[in-house]
């Protein structure tokens, strides 16, 4: 979004941990937002460039900085903010709002804290009972959203895509785990088989299942005869 003063603001919510990749991504977002304001050959940057703010609402807490809102700006070794700073980033740690409520009480939250609490917990009865201007405004926005079929459909599709991506990652991890177990079982079985029956053709041990490799390995450990092992392969 762009404010009346020309300031550019990028707002995003992450229902995940604040990983190294997320840290990297939002630094890149901010740099791109500055870079996209400038064209090659521009001489007067001050006439074209506006301040950039990135705000990340994240479902995580930074254990090293126990804050509700953590603000980042470039500073020098004397802790002075860079003159004419263009980029400011805010991390909003949503779960930390519960610690603020325990300390201050729900009725004593300021406008920003109340907005964050509502974002994190939704429009609940205890929130509505406050009759706050902030909560009323957020409920109106939510109602507007729910009445817009295109927005609701777009959000539903996005959620489905996120679920599909998550399921695909789980499937790939599971397949990788199973493949690793199969390769390990095959390798152990081949080594033990060759040590016991060096004259036998090990091609019979190719393309077996994980269960077969485990059963054959157990049979070799128990010194079962070769005929029994061949029957297990069949």
Q: Say if residues 66 and 119 touch (Cβ distance below 8 Å).
A: no
Q: Model confidence over 111-150: pLDDT tens digits?
A: 999 999 998 988 888 888 888 898 889 888 888 888 888 8
Q: What's the angle, vertex CA 114, arms to CA 111 and CA 116, rounded to 5?
A: 110
C-alpha separations of 162 from 55, 135, 155, 166, 167 in Å:
21, 28, 11, 6, 9
Q: Is pLDDT above 70 for 41?
A: no
Q: How far apart are CA 115 and CA 93, in angstroms?
A: 13
Is the pLDDT at 97 greater than 90? The verdict is: yes
Pairing assessment for the beta strands 87-93 and 69-72 based on DSSP bridges: antiparallel
Are 106 and 130 in contact, with CB atoms under 8 Å apart? yes
Residue 17 pLDDT exceeds 70: yes
Three-class SS state of 10: strand
Of the two residues 96 and 228, the one the predictor is more confident about is 96
d(CA 176, CA 161): 22
Q: What is the pLDDT of residues 148-192, one digit of tens each?
A: 888 778 777 777 777 777 777 777 777 777 788 888 888 888 888
pLDDT, mean over the chain = 85
Tell me which of 162 and 60 has the higher pLDDT: 60
Contact of 193 with 205, CB cutoff 8 Å: yes
Q: Which residue has the higher pLDDT, 98 or 35?
A: 98
Per-residue 3-state assignment (H helix, E strand, C coil) for 177-228: HHHHHHHHHHHHHHHHHHHHCCCCCHHHHCCCCHHHHHHHHHHHHCCCCHHH
pLDDT at 109: 92
């Amino acid at each position: 979004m762009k404010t009346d003063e020309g300031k550019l603001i990028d707002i995003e919510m992450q229902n995940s941990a604040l990983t190294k990749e997320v840290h990297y991504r939002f630094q890149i977002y901010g740099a791109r937002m500055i870079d996209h304001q400038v064209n090659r050959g521009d001489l007067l940057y001050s006439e074209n460039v506006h301040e950039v703010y990135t705000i990340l609402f994240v479902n995580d807490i930074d254990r090293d900085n126990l804050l509700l809102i953590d603000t980042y700006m470039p500073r020098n070794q004397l802790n002075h903010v860079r003159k004419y700073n263009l980029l400011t980033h805010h991390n909003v740690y949503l779960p930390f709002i519960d610690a603020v409520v325990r300390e201050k009480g729900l009725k004593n939250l300021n406008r920003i804290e109340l907005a964050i609490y509502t974002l994190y917990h939704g429009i609940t009865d205890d929130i509505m009972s406050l009759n706050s201007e902030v909560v009323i405004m957020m409920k109106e926005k939510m109602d507007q959203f729910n009445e817009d079929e295109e927005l609701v459909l777009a959000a539903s599709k996005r959620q489905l895509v996120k679920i599909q991506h998550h399921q695909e990652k789980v499937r790939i991890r599971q397949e990788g785990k199973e493949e690793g177990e199969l390769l390990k079982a095959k390798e152990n079985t081949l080594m033990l088989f060759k040590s016991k029956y060096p004259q036998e053709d090990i091609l019979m041990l190719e393309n077996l299942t994980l269960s077969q490799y485990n059963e054959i390995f157990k049979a070799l450990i128990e010194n079962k005869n070769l005929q029994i092992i061949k029957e297990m392969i069949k």
